[in-house]
Structure 1
Amino acid sequence: MAKRKYKNTTGRKHISKADTVLHRGELVPINANGSGCYTYMLKKIFEQFDIGLDKWKRQVFIRIDLHQAELTENNARITKFRKRLATKLTAHYGPHEMGYCWVRELEKAKAQHYHMKLWFDGDLLKTSHYVRKYAKQVWEEMGGTFPSLPKTYIYINSPETRLEALYWLSYLAKWRGKGYKTPQTKDYGTSRLKISVLTF
């Protein structure tokens, strides 16, 4: 598949090259170096991340990358991976919620790769150890490769660590590598965390 054939350049996707974005009334530093970031993606993934903090007060924020050998036109593999990982984590930790965002990118390799960030209740998890262990197992069972990373998680328990995690998260919204897909295939997906509303 030639990348030119599927490049999506629809005008509704605004790209910002600013080094901050307004989120919940504050200017948050972002990693827009080089290609800039899609502002609509930043808004969605930042809001999901902060809903997690609204719910749990503390979070563990985990980074994983997923590579594969063959190009696929849809994202069925990442959906299957997420469901299988969730099953293993539920077996290990019991019922829980998981925040997440993944992005599909295609650059110089012949197949797309995925960047994924996960976030959990910081009282349930403290590190990335078991999450990455199970993620590696599931993805390699599916025929993919699971690269090592120099830093794999941030424990968020302060305003400073929250901003560090949001900066990591903003990398997923970068323009570079996006759009090489069929029109029906998404560039990214997120969790649907919600805050419970108490009624009296």
Structure 2
Amino acid sequence: MKLQTESEYLMLGGNVFKVYAGKGKPIYPEILYRTYDQIEAMLSHYSRVLLVRIDIRNHSAEQTNRVMTKLSSKLKKRLNTKAYGFINRLGYAWAREQKTSEAHHYHLALMLDGHKVQHPHRVIELVGDICWRSNLSAYTPRNCYYLLRRSEIDGQTLANAIYRLSYLAKVNTKDKRPSTTHDYGTSRIKPRTKRHTEAAA
């Protein structure tokens, strides 16, 4: 069983961030730890990373998270084409939730090379197209993106993004799923070595 916390602050990567938690509204720190690991890994490859928030709704109840596996696979394949500048690395984190409806939904965060993509418009359209072809719905929340910079790893933009992402880690609405089905998932981007990171800065 994952640990829970109601603390409004969480240490990530040596810095303390305010998170979406408090008395009566706990979060799972593990989800945020894993998400932050992917942000750090992406920033080790690129000095700028575009982080985009999108919600994905499933139209039918499913016992697995196969739809997210397929979505990420199709998205990576489409991004790694000439039309999108051959983006060959995609970081992501998602959380599965279900309230009162029969079908569940996902909160998704995408992380892309911020040198090739400075604005999420085309990526959002691409996600929408893949969802439409897969019997899913995509919804874009307001203020959906953040341009993160390696040189500002302790800056306000990252702090705002972490607070936004901590919503994915909330305990509420994550209990309506089979015990063998995960309530979150992330990419597995490996960080570059320090020597290579400094050379790419």
How far did residue 85 of structure 1 move?
1.3
**Cα RMSD (Å):** 1.6
Segment drifting more, 125-134 vs 150-159: 150-159
| Count of aligned pairs | 188
Instruction: Kindly indicate whether residue 166 of structure 2 is the aligned counterpart of residue 170 of structure 1.
Output: yes
- Taking the aligned partners of 1:146 and 1:196, their CA distance within structure 2 comes to 32
- Match of 2:55? 65
Q: CA deviation at 1:95?
A: 4.1
CA distance in 1, matches of 2:192, 2:129: 33
Q: What are the ranges of 5 or more consecutive residues in structure 1 without an aligned counterpart? A: 1-11
Matches of residues 4-43 of structure 1 in structure 2 within 5 Å?
Answer: 12-33=1-22, 35-43=25-33
TM-score by length of 1: 0.88
Contact 2:87 2:113 in 1 (8 A): no
Q: So what's the TM-score if we normalise by structure 2?
A: 0.87
Asked if 1:56 is matched to 2:46, the reply is yes
Greater Cα shift, 111-120 or 164-173: 164-173
Could you tell me which runs of 5 or more consecutive residues in structure 2 were left unpaired when the two chains were aligned: 197-201
Which residue of 124, 139, 144 maps to 2:131? 139
What is the CA deviation profile of residues 119-138 of structure 1, one whole-angstrom value per residue up to 9, with x for unaligned ones? 11211110111110100000
Aligned-residue offset at 1:164: 1.2
Residue type at the aligned position of 2:3 = H
> 2: distance between equivalents of 1:41 and 1:144?
24
1:51-109 Cα offsets, whole Å, 9 max, x none, are: 21232121111011011221000011111111111111112221421110011111111
Q: Tell me the residue number matched to 2:80.
A: 90
